[in-house]
Structure formats: C-alpha cells, structure tokens
Chains A and B, each alone.
Chain A
Amino acid sequence: MGVAVIGASMTKFGRRDVWLQELLSEAGEECLDEAGVTPNEVEHLYVSNMASGEFEGQTGIMNALAHDLGVLPAYSERVDQTSSSGGAGIYEAWQSVASGASEMTLLVGGEKMTHKTTGQATDIIASITHPAEYKHGVTLPSFAGLTARHYLERFDAPRESLARVAVKNHRNGVDNPNAQFQREITVEKALDSPVIADPLRLYDFCPITDGSAAMLFTTEERAAEIADEYAVVSGIGGATDTHVVHERDDPTVMGGVVESSAEAYEMAGLGPDDLDVAELHDMFTILEFLQLEGIGVADQGEAWELAMDGATAKDGDLPINTSGGLKSKGHPLGASGVAQGVEIYEQLVGEAGPRQVEADTALACNVGGFGNCVITTIMEAAE
C-alpha cells in the first residue's frame, strides 16, 4: 500500500523552558491541526526519543503523549534508535500504513537536553558505546575527531573543506525560523574556534538542543481524498553497522548509510542522480562528507570537493541541508530524524518559504551513534 505524508510540523529548536511532554504535544497538536485531522482518527502513534529517562527521569512518554493529544485508544509505541530514533520512527510509521495495520499514523519525535551540562549530556550520549570504548572516555565528538583526521590525511583534503560545511549550513539556517542558530559564520571564525576533538573545532559540531517535530502518515488513497498537497514515501531502508566503531573495515565508510540508501533507492526505483535536495545527518561536519559518499553522490574521498566548489549550497547542483542541518537547526536527538522529514516534506509540497528549492525527489539520511544505525528515506511530491 502506498504511503503518503499529509502533514508536518516542528517546534522552535533551541533552549526551551518546557519539558519533553509539552514539547511533544506542541508539535503533535500543530501537525494534526494543520492537516485538518482530528485526534480520534489517529490509529497508531509513534514517539521517537532516545533518552527521556536519562535526561529528565520521565519514561513511558508514548502513553503520556497519547493521553495528552486525545488519540486514545490508538496503538502507541516509543521508538529508540539513539540519534536515528526519528528516522526509525519514519520507518515504523511507514510500516504501519504500508502493512494496512493503520490508516492514520502520527509520528512525533522529541528530546529535552539543555537542562544538563554539556559534560552530562555528552556522557548520556556516550553511554551508547561498548564498555570497552566507554571506559576510555570516548565520546561521539571524539569519534568524529578520529575519523576526520584519518579522512583528511588519507584523501589529502583541506581542513577548510570541513569549515565550509559549517558555513553553508549556518547560511541555510538563517532562513529557518525554527533553527537554534539563525546567524551566518565565516570560514575564519570556524577555523579559529576552540578545539573540541582535534582536528575538529567548536563549529564542526552541532549544539545541544531541545525540540520536537511531527509528521502525519496515511495511505495514498486517503491522502488524495483529504489533502490538497502531499508527499509520498517512495523508498526507505534501515541498516545497522558495528557497535564497536574501530571494528569497521574502513573507518571512512559508513556501512549503514551505504546499505540503507541502496535499499531505499531500490524500493523507489531511483538513484543518486535523481535527487533534487537532501537532508544529511551533519551532527559533525565530517559526517556530511561520509554520507554524500555513502549515498553515492560522491566517490570515496571526494565529497570534500563538493563543499569547496559550492555544489551542495542552496543554489548548487544538489542542495544539502536546506534546513540548516543539525549544525545550525540543532539536534534534539529523537526529533532530528523527524525534523529532516519535515524539511523534505516542506520542500516537496512547496512550503519551505525562503529555503525553497525546486524539488520533486528528496532524500533524508538519519544516523544513530557514529553510523551504528542508519535510516534513509526517499520522498517524492505527489503527482
């Protein structure tokens, strides 16, 4: 059964004074309202969230949100796939409609993080690592530093190319009213910022963020009846790579990106040349390169050239992260994959405002851990 997206919304990302339950309600309510769907029509509710228990001591949030939104007695489930919980939520929502189990599925992703110190938040996220890694004090940013050094040395890529990813995504974020940062930065500022995980500096990393995002899924038949504009999920794939990061055959290949995108392309009957716009998981600048290579847009070791020549800018051949990406929009873990879906939906239905590019086919790649779990989604504008 064909699966359509008939609504999408997100809260303001950044430092928010409300707790997770309220953030989730905010995005969920807006999504239903804008689609003109009443809560009692919702048959399945998925809530993407990595660590509400660890961050604020609140568990069982799918039940909390179902009750608050008035969607009872809908089936509800919390989806945790660490940083790719949002993408996994898209996968679950797609499955629920494609299988015929639900005719109206609401997906809401969210995380509340900023009340913790940077060290505490980093520790919660680092707890996804293998105990043999964790005891050394490894963090996700340090994986990025290890990988970036290897990439730059092996492919003779200029350090500046990574800064250009940050500059581009900050530029795009200026046009996103929901982004955590709406300000441009320069290459010089990025290269002069404090070292976080050598050779990477502050502006190579996404911030710590509160926020929520939502999407509404139904069958293509129902969408054609009730929605003026909608998008179709034409391909989706999910894959898992090693838990222990150093065990991968090639430190610069994100196997989960390669496998999940191959699956999504095959389902959609499309390839990398067919893409008009994409949202990639730029939790760290180096990840934008590795994903461009993993989804087949660039050959191994060459994605940095796209950043240098502007091919991935909003007016380039393939705009990447028109939303501002995680870098500028922010990264509330469980919300990020859903917010990627919100951006490509808005691009496909022509609601992206000043960020709008010409797009009939869009891809979102959501990465959990350091590529440990990956979901790739391809959506197309309804004909």
Chain B
Amino acid sequence: MTLEAGICPNGHVSYPAHPRCPDCGEPQDGTVDLADERAEVVTWTTSTATPPGVREPNTMAIVEFDISHLDLEDTFVRALGQATTDDIETGDVVEPVYVEELRDPDVGLKSSNPESQDWDGYRWDPA
C-alpha cells in the first residue's frame, strides 16, 4: 500500500494524483510515495455528526508533507485524512499509519456498489 502523490514534468506535485497536472495541465508522469514521510498538521476538526458507516467522533486533519528534499518545483504537498487520536493540535508532527477500512463500505450511499472506490488508506498518528 502506498500514499501516492502525482508529479508532472514541471515538478508540480498533487495528492491524490490526477491524469493531468492541476497547475499546468501537463500529464503527470511520476509519483512519490508519502507513506514513510512525516507531515505537519495545518488544521483539524472533530466531526460529531458523521454519516452512516463513519466512526463518531471522527477527527480529521489536513497535513503538509515537506518534499523539498525531492528538489522539485513544489516544496510541499498536502493531504487530508483521519487522525488516530482526538487529541491533536495545529503544528503537530504526524506519520501515516495504514488502516484496512477507514469507513464501512456496506452502509451509506455507496453501499450498493462498494467496489466503485478504495476504502483503505492512512491515518495520521502523532509522531
């Protein structure tokens, strides 16, 4: 399992990847796996009104990965994900932890065709 961001020939990076670079429109032809990188919490929320199949409460954070060591045009890339704890603060350093099922695919709007998307992924764990 990877936490894969896309890279275009101009060095723009996005998570998730897209067929074309959102910044310049060039096809993304490279990837970088962020699963072993650390990130910093930009902002977070604890949602207490969650939809069917989602844990309650659900603390999520937008985090920023420093990718300046890759020597690309973009020096950071952000990602949103669940946190492993409700005890999180802006500026915390986190690392991705793999989870097989982030929410229950068998309930909710997509339960009639759960194969339409992935349900595994990474949570942010304070380092």
Contact = CB atoms under 8 A, between A and B. Distances in A.
A130 B22 CA distance: 14
Contacts of B108: 123
Given A145-B45, A149-B90, A247-B22, A136 B80 contact: yes
B49 A54 contact: no
A197 B62 contact: no
A138 B118 CA distance: 15
A48 interface: no
Interface in A70-111: none
B109 A136 contact: no
B16 interface: yes
Nearest to B46: A198
Contact of A142 (B15, B52, B60): B60
Chain B contact patch, size range: 35 or more
Nearest to B110: A127
B60 A146 contact: yes
Nearest to B108: A123
Contacts of A226: none
Interface string A142-159: 100111011001000000
Greatest chain A CB density within 10 A among B44, B55, B108 is at: B108
Interface in B36-82: 42-55, 58, 60-62, 78-82
Given A149-B43, A197-B47, A134 B82 contact: no
Contacts of A247: 14-15, 22, 78
A145 B109 CA distance: 23
Contacts of B121: 132, 135-136
Contact of B46 (A124, A135, A197, A242): A197
A177 interface: no
B45 A149 contact: yes
Given A123-B52, A131-B118, A145 B47 contact: yes
Contacts of A153: 43, 90
Nearest to B90: A153
A212 B61 CA distance: 36
Interface in B61-117: 61-62, 78-82, 90, 102-103, 108-110, 116-117
28 contacts: A120-B52, A120-B109, A122-B50, A123-B51, A127-B109, A132-B15, A132-B121, A134-B117, A135-B102, A135-B103, A135-B118, A135-B119, A135-B120, A136-B60, A136-B81, A136-B82, A137-B51, A137-B58, A138-B60, A145-B45, A146-B45, A146-B61, A198-B48, A244-B16, A246-B79, A247-B78, A251-B43, A251-B62
Given A127-B109, A146-B43, A194-B48, 4 more contacts: A123-B108, A126-B51, A135-B102, A136-B103
Q: Which 8 A-B pairs have the closest CB atoms?
A: A145-B45, A137-B54, A123-B51, A131-B117, A150-B43, A142-B47, A198-B46, A132-B16
